[in-house]
Structure 1
């Protein structure tokens, strides 16, 4: 899983990066909000973003809002990582769209636990998106079958929308892109 660390303070950024890489994550880093936005606005953006609140160019709150407004099947899981620890700051962070919030200083175990929660949420969201896509495809198929046509499996006559049975060539010349539903016309049913 790919994780972005957007942190302007070099030592903190490097410390988090070392931890994440030791735990097996692929890490991208940004020293300011502008660089972080350039990374997060790509189609192959990291699935999780650790955003510092106070950064040059674009602060963490604005960056979080932008990320949450992206039209994506799998939204980026945002964890605010900041020294701002007042109750009102935490609420402002969540109101901006943050999925989680860690206050500095934090320990490695807390960071790892929150990353794992984010990873589970990302995987669940990905599974839901795949299922939704499958459901959309199934619905498209159902809709196309509702517009199917009836064809006599004995004489090959085709029933038109008007209820009249036509020779295949006559019907197909009238309807270029039709779905075929094989059956029997009333005359052939009587013969069989």
Structure 2
């Protein structure tokens, strides 16, 4: 931008204010672009291959550390996890524990 000579102080001040505002907006835009590029990199990483142990189901992160799947998801997404049991795991793992606890409680009542 430019100001014609002889310049008016009010016009000069207005031009300087506009220039300052343009620089502020360019800075905000630059920071936003950086944030979006980082977000895109995260999305691409999450859409790509995820190294996971076939046995324990832990996930290897970028630092070559192995983490539980729920911890990895919590650190790399905004997803909220709720834990439960699928029907098969309930029957194989949970029900036997419940039956055992119930049997122990019944045995304690008899004594």
For normalisation by structure 2, the TM-score amounts to 0.49
Higher strand proportion (structure 1 or 2): 1
Q: RCO (CA 8 Å, sep 6+): is it higher in 1 or 2? A: 1
For normalisation by structure 1, the TM-score amounts to 0.30
Higher helix proportion (structure 1 or 2): 2
